[in-house]
Each structure stands twice: as structure tokens, then as C-alpha cells.
């Protein structure tokens, strides 16, 4: 028999990376929050790669931290190994990546949520979601308890309608042996939520004792670790190495001979898989000219022998998986602890969402994470943070908190999803941002901490630390612009060794720092009065000096984008009534219903000529409003004279 259990301000369905950030953000902003999870022991689980960060994903984690989110702190507290990727390239693509102790990360996040005021975690499966007559939301659990809330955030990950595939075997299920949320999937379809099927997969886990490391390439962490969190409370340590090996022609032969047994190629899987993280069988087919593929062997935890085989995702039958694994150097006698599998699941068409991540047609209902069509823990956490913030702000009758593309990778991620949609699981990459020199991971706090402070997620202490950092940066910029450096044999010897021109006359230190071949570190012996400052201050000064011209150019582009975004579009506008718009543009604009001209310009199928038509239309509308106002004012003056 159904019974009423409790009422919350915000209910979060799912306690993965999106659900955690959503619940914490909403509670920290004053909402009473209930976070529902199928299994309390798998809060913050990492069913795929036990790592956080990576190319562009490290940017997201640092942005989450700058805004007051939790993922960066949790990663720092549970790091097994940390590295900065792409060091050989420019600072725009430097990305922090850490191998994580997955079980301890889960315990950490569960405990943070347990300690959070205004938040309750509930182990219960939500099987039905309906809207009440007064506009609130009603959640029904498997045990027939009724919970109500003004706002609900769907953070269901890959559980919604989940189906597992291993060769010819398929069954309803969620990741890591959990069961699927099938009834909730049906409930959302009854609500009119536009869902579709996506697919992802995960490699096998193997026993460390069964691996021969003698001929494998060892990969250690960086000597100097950069934390994810700007708070500086924890200094992560490198505890365990990773290793690299490769597939070979024999691996390829076994896969090709068994392609007919792969559900990916036999047609059993209908869902669209991730374009940038293909299974090993997909890689063998798509890159047939390659004779080998790189495999990373990574630890799952400090107190477990499980190792993760990054690059070996597969849905081939279990017996085939074992055969192909044993062709790989180092894995000749490997013991598989968890078989690789593919999982197919329901997600929403993100074009149904506002940039706030609230549903356009279902007020008070929000989506976050893989439910929105993205992939990855970091993408999920970023969306969860924004959804949680906006659910709380909706309750407080405040304007939605929306980050634009020039402010953050979070803004780019969400704008891509809600403006362009996605035909396969969306993965964040640095190439997706046209402002990536502005949106570096090293300046995430400078870009976003003040925003987090304004909305109430960042405390006074963190905000004041940022202000002091900004003061030190400006003071150091002024100093290097005034310090003179005299020519000399030692300095010229350094310059020639770095393949840059020797000095004949003195110059300002800033002029030397502009040279790409030189750095603060190299010039330290010739700068005796250099102050003792944090390394991050020198980093910001050096980047701003070396890339000054490029940064100014991107900033100007960002200002133009923001000018377009200031031109608001009426949500009720029927674009078929606007003369001059192409038919495709009318259709796409009516589907997305962009909030401004900038968002309209990024819709696939809307051309610059269409934007010009819209600009003319808006000018006419503004002129008409001014004329009407003038006429009304004139009439009012006449009445006053009478």
C-alpha cells in the first residue's frame, strides 16, 4: 500500500557523479534535498576507468572546484598517481589527470554527503515520477513510499532502461552488476520526455598477480603534483605506477575471426556508442591499417589487486575476451576478475533542455550527466553542479545561473548539448572550445571563483585567497615591466643555447619573458630581486606575457559573442512567420527555441545569412516598440494637458 513518506525542496534521482554535485550544491544553497540511490554502497562509483581528469576533462574538474563543487577535493584525497598531460604543447591544452582509488573515492563522497546539512541520502529505487495538480513532483519508490518535491533532478547515469551485452548474452542490468531502472524509464516516456538509446562499454578488470610486468613500459606520476583543488588543503601523492603494453597481429586476428559474435556488429545493439572511446573490436575495424593499439594497465585501488585495461573496452563473448587478452604482452597468463561488457541505456534529447538544464516543457524537472547524452564522470559532475544550483535558485525565485562559452568549459559543454544536441555520447575535448586559450585549467579559479562566491557556494576564505593571488599577479607584472636586465656573457650564452638572439644592449625583463624559448626558471639567475611568490603566480604572469596578443584576440571574439547573446529572442516566437529565413533554419530554430541571437548562431543548419535576417527582424521589433511607446507617451501628455 502506498504511503506518504516525506517532502523535500529538491529530489535528486541518482548518486553518481552528477547526482552528488547536484545534491551538494542545492543543499549548500539552502534547499532541503533528498538524494535517491539504488545502492548506498555505490555512491560515486566509477564503473569504467578509475581516473579523473584528462584532456579537457581536467579543465572541467578545476572549474567545478573553482565554483565550489566537490569532485576536485575528492580526487586529491584519493589519488594514486597524478600527471599533467600534453606538457609538450601550449598551456591551453595542458590537462591534469589522476588515477583514483575507486572504492575510497566512493566512501569519501558518501561521507561528505552524510555530513552535509540539509541533505539526506535514501537507498530506494524511484519507479514512477508524476506531476501533482499544484505543480510539484511526486516520486514513488519500489517499496511504495511517496516523496514530493518542488524540483527533481534526473541523474540516472546508465541505469535508465539499462541492458548489458556480452557476446550472445544480454539482460536487463546496470553497471557493475547492479539492476536497471526499467520502470522509471517507462514513467519518463509517459511524461513525454524525449528519450533515445545510447551505448557505452568498459574493459575487463584483471588480477595484478597474473600480469608479467618484466617487459612492460612503466609510467610513473609527475615529481611535482598539481592538485585539482585550488583550496590547497591536500597535497596528493604518487602511490602506484601504471604500465603500457600493445595489442598485436594475433590480437587482431582473433577479433576479426569473431566479429560475428560481437553484438556491436551483429546488430543486437541499437544504441549509438561513443565516437571517441571505441571498443577494441571497433578500433580494429575502423583503423584496419594499424597493426597494434596501445593499452594502459592501471590500478583500481591501493588495497586491491584489480587492474583496469584502458583501451580494451569490448562486448565480445567471455571466451573470446580471454583469448585476445592472452595475446597481449604481459597478459599471457592473465586472470580476468570482471569481464568486459557493453551497456545500452536511455537518455534524453538535450535539445529539450534550457541552458539551466531545466526541461522546457516540464517546469521544475532538470537533467544532468549521462542522462543528458554526455559521457564521462567529469562531464556528469559539471552538469550536476549547474542543475543543483539552478534547482535551488528556482526555489528562491532567482534568475538561472548560466555560464557562457567564453567563461568556461562547463558553459561550452552545456551550450553544445542544449543548442546542437548530440547523436552519440558527448565527450568534452579542448577542440570544442573556440576560446581555449582563455579557458585554461590553470586560470579556472580566476575565471569562476568570484561567480561561485556571488551565488553562495564559495566561502569568504577561498574568495579572499583569490583576491590576494590577483594582487600578487598584478604586482609581479608591474615589476617585470620595470626591471632592467644588462647584457653579459653568461646571459648571452644561455640565449644562444636556447636558440634565441643574444643581447647587445639592456632590456626589460618582460621583453625576455616574451621569447618562447625562455622562462622564469631559466632567467632566475639574472633576476636577483625576484620575490618569493607561489609558483602559480609566476605561471599566470608568464602565460599572460607570452600569449598577450593571442589572449587579446580571443577576448575580443568573446566580447562579440556576448554582444550577440545580449540580443534576446522571444521563446514564443514562431520562426515560420519571419520572411527571409530558409526553411531549414525555420525548422531548427523552432525546435531549439534559442534564448538569444548568440545561441541561434550556433545551431546546426542556421547560417550567417539567417542570423542577419534575425538581426533585421529584431531591429524592426525594437523600432516598433519605440514607436508604440512614443505614441503612448504622446497620448498620455495630451490627456494630462486636458
pLDDT on residue 37: 97
Evaluate if residue 638 carries a pLDDT over 70.
Answer: no
pLDDT on residue 338: 96
pLDDT on residue 552: 93
Evaluate if residue 276 carries a pLDDT over 70.
Answer: no
Average pLDDT score over the chain: 93
285 C-beta neighbours (distance < 10 Å), count: 17
Residues 6+ apart with CB under 8 A from 286: 278
Answer whether 442's CB lies under 8 Å from 385's CB: no
Distances (CA, A) of 159 to 123, 170, 204, 251, 351: 15, 15, 19, 32, 21
How far is the C-alpha of 507 from the C-alpha of 212, rounded, in Å?
A: 57
Phi, psi of 484 (to 5 degrees): -95, 140
pLDDT on residue 625: 79
Answer whether 34's CB lies under 8 Å from 137's CB: no
The segment with the largest mean pLDDT, out of 97-101, 529-533, 568-572, is: 97-101
Evaluate if residue 272 carries a pLDDT over 80.
Answer: no
Mean pLDDT for the stretch of residues 382-399? 98
Delineate the domains of the chain, giving CATH numbers in brackets: 3-454 (3.50.50.60), 460-552 (1.10.10.1800), 566-641 (1.10.150.570)
Evaluate if residue 608 carries a pLDDT over 80.
Answer: yes
Evaluate if residue 205 carries a pLDDT over 80.
Answer: yes
Question: Residue 636: which pLDDT band, with cuts at 50, 70 and 90?
Answer: confident
Percent of the chain with pLDDT over 70: 98
Question: Residue 624: which pLDDT band, with cuts at 50, 70 and 90?
Answer: confident
Q: What residues form DSSP beta bridges with 142?
A: none
pLDDT per residue as tens digits for the range 462-489? 999 999 999 999 999 999 999 999 999 9
Alpha helices in 416-504 (DSSP H): 444-455, 460-482, 489-497
pLDDT per residue as tens digits for the range 207-229? 999 999 999 999 999 999 999 99
How far is the C-alpha of 221 from the C-alpha of 51, rounded, in Å?
A: 13
pLDDT per residue as tens digits for the range 483-542? 999 999 999 999 999 999 999 898 999 999 999 999 999 999 999 989 999 999 999 999
How far is the C-alpha of 559 from the C-alpha of 561, rounded, in Å?
A: 5
3-state secondary structure of 360: coil
Strands 163-166 and 145-154: unpaired
Phi-psi category of residue 514: left, alpha or beta, with phi > 0 → left and psi -120 to 50 → alpha: alpha
Answer whether 590's CB lies under 8 Å from 574's CB: yes
Answer whether 391's CB lies under 8 Å from 26's CB: yes
Mean pLDDT for the stretch of residues 591-619? 91
State pTM to two decimals: 0.94
Evaluate if residue 34 carries a pLDDT over 90.
Answer: yes
pLDDT per residue as tens digits for the range 445-460? 999 999 999 999 999 9
Answer with the residue of higher pLDDT: 111 or 291.
111
Range with the poorest average pLDDT among 122-126, 351-355, 583-587: 583-587
Amino acid at each position: 500500500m502506498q504511503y506518504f513518506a516525506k517532502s523535500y525542496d529538491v529530489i535528486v534521482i541518482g548518486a553518481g557523479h552528477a547526482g552528488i554535485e547536484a545534491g551538494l550544491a542545492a543543499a549548500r544553497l539552502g534547499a532541503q534535498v533528498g538524494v535517491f540511490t539504488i545502492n548506498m554502497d555505490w555512491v560515486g562509483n566509477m564503473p569504467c576507468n578509475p581516473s579523473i581528469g584528462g584532456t579537457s576533462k581536467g579543465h572541467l574538474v578545476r572549474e567545478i572546484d573553482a565554483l565550489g563543487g566537490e569532485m576536485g577535493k575528492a580526487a586529491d584525497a584519493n589519488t594514486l598517481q597524478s600527471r599533467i598531460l600534453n606538457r609538450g604543447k601550449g598551456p591551453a591544452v595542458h590537462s591534469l589527470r589522476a588515477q583514483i582509488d575507486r572504492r575510497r573515492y566512493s566512501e569519501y563522497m558518501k561521507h561528505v554527503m552524510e555530513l552535509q546539512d540539509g541533505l539526506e541520502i535514501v537507498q530506494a529505487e524511484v519507479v514512477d515520477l508524476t506531476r501533482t495538480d499544484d505543480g510539484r513532483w511526486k516520486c514513488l519508490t519500489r517499496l511504495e513510499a511517496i516523496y514530493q518535491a518542488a524540483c527533481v533532478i534526473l541523474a540516472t547515469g546508465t541505469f535508465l532502461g539499462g541492458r548489458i551485452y556480452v557476446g550472445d548474452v544480454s539482460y536487463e542490468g546496470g553497471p557493475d552488476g547492479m539492476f536497471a531502472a526499467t520502470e522509471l524509464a517507462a514513467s519518463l516516456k509517459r511524461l513525454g520526455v524525449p528519450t533515445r538509446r545510447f551505448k557505452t562499454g568498459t574493459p575487463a578488470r584483471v588480477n595484478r598477480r597474473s600480469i608479467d610486468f618484466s617487459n612492460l613500459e612503466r609510467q610513473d606520476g609527475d615529481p611535482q603534483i598539481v592538485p585539482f583543488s585550488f583550496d590547497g588543503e591536500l597535497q596528493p601523492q604518487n602511490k602506484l605506477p601504471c604500465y603500457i603494453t600493445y595489442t598485436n597481429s594475433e590480437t587482431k586476428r582473433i577479433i576479426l575471426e569473431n566479429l560475428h559474435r560481437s553484438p556491436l556488429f551483429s546488430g543486437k545493439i541499437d544504441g549509438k556508442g561513443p565516437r571517441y572511446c571505441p571498443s577494441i573490436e571497433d578500433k580494429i575495424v575502423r583503423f584496419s591499417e594499424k597493426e597494434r593499439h596501445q593499452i594502459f594497465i592501471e590500478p583500481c585501488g591501493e588495497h586491491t589487486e584489480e587492474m583496469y585495461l584502458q583501451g580494451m573496452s569490448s562486448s565480445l563473448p567471455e571466451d573470446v575476451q580471454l583469448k585476445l587478452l592472452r595475446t597481449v604482452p604481459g597478459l599471457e597468463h592473465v586472470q580476468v576478475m570482471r569481464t568486459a561488457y557493453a551497456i545500452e541505456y536511455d537518455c534524453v534529447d538535450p535539445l529539450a533542455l534550457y541552458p539551466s538544464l531545466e526541461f522546457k516543457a516540464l517546469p521544475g524537472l532538470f537533467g544532468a550527466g549521462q542522462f543528458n547524452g554526455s559521457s564521462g564522470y567529469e562531464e556528469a559532475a559539471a552538469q550536476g553542479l549547474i542543475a543543483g544550483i539552478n534547482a535551488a535558485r528556482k526555489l528562491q525565485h532567482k534568475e538561472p545561473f548560466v555560464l557562457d562559452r567564453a567563461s568556461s568549459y562547463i558553459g561550452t559543454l552545456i551550450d553544445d548539448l542544449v543548442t546542437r544536441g548530440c547523436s552519440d555520447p558527448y565527450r568534452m575535448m579542448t577542440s570544442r572550445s573556440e576560446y581555449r586559450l582563455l579557458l585554461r585549467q590553470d586560470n579556472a579559479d580566476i575565471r569562476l571563483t568570484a561567480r561561485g562566491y556571488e551565488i553562495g557556494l564559495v566561502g569568504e576564505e577561498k574568495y579572499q585567497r583569490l583576491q590576494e593571488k590577483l594582487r600578487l599577479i598584478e604586482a609581479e607584472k608591474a615589476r617585470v615591466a620595470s626591471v632592467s636586465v644588462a647584457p653579459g656573457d653568461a646571459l648571452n650564452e644561455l640565449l644562444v643555447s636556447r636558440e634565441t638572439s643574444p643581447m647587445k644592449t639592456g632590456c626589460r625583463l618582460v621583453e625576455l619573458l616574451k621569447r618562447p624559448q625562455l622562462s622564469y626558471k631559466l632567467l632566475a639567475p639574472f633576476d636577483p630581486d625576484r620575490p618569493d611568490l607561489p609558483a602559480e603566480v609566476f605561471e599566470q604572469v608568464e602565460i599572460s606575457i607570452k600569449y598577450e596578443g593571442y589572449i587579446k584576440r580571443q577576448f575580443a571574439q568573446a566580447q562579440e559573442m556576448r554582444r550577440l547573446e545580449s540580443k534576446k529572442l522571444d521563446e514564443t516566437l514562431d520562426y515560420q512567420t519571419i520572411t527571409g529565413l530558409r526553411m531549414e533554419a525555420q525548422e531548427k530554430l523552432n525546435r531549439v527555441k534559442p534564448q538569444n541571437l548568440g545561441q541561434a548562431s550556433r545551431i546546426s543548419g542556421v547560417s550567417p545569412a539567417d542570423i542577419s535576417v534575425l538581426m533585421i527582424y529584431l531591429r524592426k521589433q525594437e523600432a516598433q516598440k519605440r514607436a508604440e511607446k512614443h505614441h503612448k507617451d504622446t497620448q498620455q501628455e495630451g490627456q494630462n494637458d486636458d
